[in-house]
């Protein structure tokens, strides 16, 4: 390696982890501050031997991690609650559980990036590819199976003879004087280099232009641009009306699916019976779907106390005599077909879920107009549970 006469430091090699630990303790005890230890793998207890203080890198990680969490939470609060509020299934504007994944990801992202950038800039002062230890016999040995210590010449107590004597006394196998490498200058602003750059830029531009503007339009490379299909909103030359987006042929149904036969009628022509028993599982399903799709207008307890006050007219209570006397099939028909300003929920709720909602509505009605026998049964169940 080319070198100058300026010394970077004195490096010594040891054979065992115990020897390097002892050397680090003795060198540190002797008052040397500008030292570094190089080992092929982490050696337990080295931080204590070198009297290294805990790294402050964790504070950078903590600060930017908390900053990421605060930024994500405040941004979503501003977007969803203030700037562009949306009502989705009766959920609150500030839905904390829905915000947690994004908050977590932004926290991890900023914490990770700040850790890496802070480590490279503030703690490593940018990696130095021209470091004096690079390429030396010392660094090659410690990268394999040796343990080394290097005392830099910038240390206030640096004395070459004294340090070599100390390292010999500590049992060093080899001692090497490390010199600063000679600075090598590579002039780039030369006519031939500038001509090379210009030729490369021109050739790259011509090839890119040919590939993107000529080659991709030639057979067989044009298959991505010429396809036998219509994209949405594209004009069709096959149909007389020119529309490319076609509606299904009237009367067609999906295989294995029978459409609801009473759609559009005020009342079903035939009596519909509930095929699902009001089991605990079915009622829990009905409660879940009711609170999502029905409660924004009808209220949590079907009282007609809409949570969207001022946006839509409040619907009638489902505890009226008329509602309680309705058959299950009629309630199912209203959910499926809609009534007055209430739209159909057939596209949002499956058939099984609609019947489950009907069962849950019956539970709410029964709870509001409980009979004496219902109360007695509840008391019996409570007593049985206590026993």
Look at residue 272 in the predicted model and tell me its pLDDT.
86
- C-alpha separations of 5 from 2, 99, 153, 182 in Å: 10, 62, 12, 9
Helix axes 351-368, 280-289, angle to 10 degrees: 100
CB 39 within 8 A of CB 142: yes
CB 184 within 8 A of CB 9: no
Continuous segment of H or E residues that includes residue 373: helix 372-386
Per-residue tokens: 317 = 């209570």
Tens of pLDDT along the chain (387 residues) come to 556 578 999 999 999 999 999 999 999 999 999 999 999 999 999 999 999 888 889 999 999 999 999 999 999 999 888 888 877 777 788 888 888 999 999 999 999 999 999 988 887 777 777 789 988 999 999 999 999 999 999 999 999 999 999 999 999 999 999 999 887 777 778 888 899 999 999 999 999 999 988 888 888 777 777 777 888 888 888 888 888 888 878 878 878 778 888 888 888 877 888 888 889 999 999 999 999 999 888 888 888 887 776 666 778 888 888 988 888 999 999 999 988 888 899 889 999 999 999 999 999 988 888 777 766 766 676 666 655
Per-residue tokens: 34 = 């500008």
Look at residue 67 in the predicted model and tell me its pLDDT.
96
CB 334 within 8 A of CB 342: yes
CATH of 280-386, one of 1.20.1730.10, 3.30.450.20, 1.10.760.10, 3.40.720.10: 1.10.760.10
The CATH 1.10.760.10 domain(s) of the chain lie at 280-386
Per-residue tokens: 349 = 């709720």
Closest CA to 147 of 56, 232, 36: 36
Contacts of 177 (CB under 8 A, 6+ apart): 7, 10, 11, 160
Residue 46: CA count within 13 A, CB half-sphere = 16
Calculate the CA 8 to chain-centre distance. 46
What are residue 36's phi and psi, to 5 degrees? -145, 150
Per-residue tokens: 342 = 């209430």
Look at residue 170 in the predicted model and tell me its pLDDT.
94
């Amino acid at each position: 390696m080319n070198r100058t006469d300026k010394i970077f430091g004195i490096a010594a090699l040891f054979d065992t982890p115990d020897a390097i630990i002892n050397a680090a303790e003795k060198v540190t005890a002797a008052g040397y501050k500008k030292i570094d230890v190089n080992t092929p793998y982490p050696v337990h207890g080295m931080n204590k031997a070198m009297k290294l203080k805990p790294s402050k890198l964790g504070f950078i990680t903590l600060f930017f991690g908390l900053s990421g969490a605060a930024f994500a939470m405040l941004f979503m609060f501003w977007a969803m609650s203030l700037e562009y509020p949306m009502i989705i299934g009766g959920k609150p504007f500030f839905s904390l559980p829905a915000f947690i994944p994004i908050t977590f990801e932004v926290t991890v992202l900023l914490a990770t990036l700040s850790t890496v950038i802070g480590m490279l800039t503030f703690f490593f002062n940018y990696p130095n590819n021209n470091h004096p230890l690079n390429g030396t016999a010392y660094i090659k040995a410690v990268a394999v199976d040796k343990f080394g210590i290097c005392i830099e010449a910038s240390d206030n107590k640096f004395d070459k003879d004294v340090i070599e004597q100390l390292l010999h006394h500590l049992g060093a196998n080899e001692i090497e004087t490390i010199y600063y490498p000679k600075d090598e200058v590579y002039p780039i602003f030369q006519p031939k280099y500038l001509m090379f750059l210009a030729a490369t830029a021109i050739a790259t531009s011509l090839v890119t232009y040919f590939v993107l503007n000529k080659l991709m339009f030639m057979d067989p490379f044009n298959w991505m641009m010429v396809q036998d299909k219509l994209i949405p909103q594209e004009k069709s030359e096959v149909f007389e009306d020119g529309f490319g987006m076609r509606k299904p042929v009237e009367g067609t149904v999906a295989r294995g699916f029978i459409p609801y036969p009473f759609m559009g009628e005020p009342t079903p022509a035939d009596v519909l019976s509930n095929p699902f028993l009001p089991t605990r599982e079915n009622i829990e399903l009905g409660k879940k779907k009711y609170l999502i799709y029905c409660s924004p207008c009808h209220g949590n307890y079907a009282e007609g106390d809409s949570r969207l006050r001022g946006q839509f007219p409040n619907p009638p209570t489902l505890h009226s005599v008329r509602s309680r006397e309705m058959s299950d099939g009629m309630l199912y028909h209203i959910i499926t077909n809609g009534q007055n300003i209430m739209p159909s929920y057939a596209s949002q709720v499956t058939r099984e879920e609609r019947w489950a909602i009907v069962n849950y509505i019956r539970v709410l009605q029964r709870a509001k107009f409980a009979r004496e026998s219902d109360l007695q049964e509840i008391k019996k169940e409570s007593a049985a549970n206590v026993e």
